[in-house]
Amino acid sequence: MKKEVNKRNKRRTLGLIGLNTAGVLPIAHEIYQSVIIDLHKGEIYRKEKPRELIEGACLEGGSDYSGRKRYALLTFGYKNKAPIGIKPYNRIYTFPTMSPELFECMWIFPAHIKDMYAISDKETLILFRNDVELIVPVSYEILKEQKQRTYHCSAHFDHWSRDE
């Protein structure tokens, strides 16, 4: 049985993820489940889980999360941690830092990454364009690969959309 889209929940997430979104992170809080890092607005706390925010943004962008994920699989063979083209026509792409099924999964928007630094074998510091720093519990090499996969998807989609 397919899960029905909750229209009320969809309205609450409209416009939350956009051109200035740098990341969507999980938080353990009694009210909020995620925080959106926005380059201009700072931190935006939300009751929805990060994946729910990503799913809502995909719908707003003209497709559902499953469709965006399937595109990455069929086109590039990315089975795990697939980059997601949330709104490809606006060049809004994101990638998960680990399996999206895990609570700890963060969603990073690579267009806003200024630099990345390995802190240890299992931690990386991401410096965003607004000089906000984020420590991610993932190796530098994995984040670098995820960033490259996302740029690969965006370049492919940009080329495809120009050919129409």
Cα(136)–Cα(74) distance, rounded to whole angstroms? 28
Q: Sorting pLDDT into bands at 50, 70 and 90, what band is 50?
A: very high
The model's pTM is 0.88
Which pLDDT does position 123 carry in this prediction? 98
Give the residue-averaged pLDDT of 12-18: 77
Q: What is the pLDDT of residues 79-90, one digit of tens each?
A: 899 999 999 989
Q: Of how many residues is the chain composed?
A: 164
At 103-124, the pLDDT tens digits run 999 999 999 999 999 999 999 9
Residue 12, token pair as written in the block: 């609450």
Q: Which amino acid is at 108?
A: I
Instruction: Please say if the pLDDT value at position 164 is more than 90.
Output: no
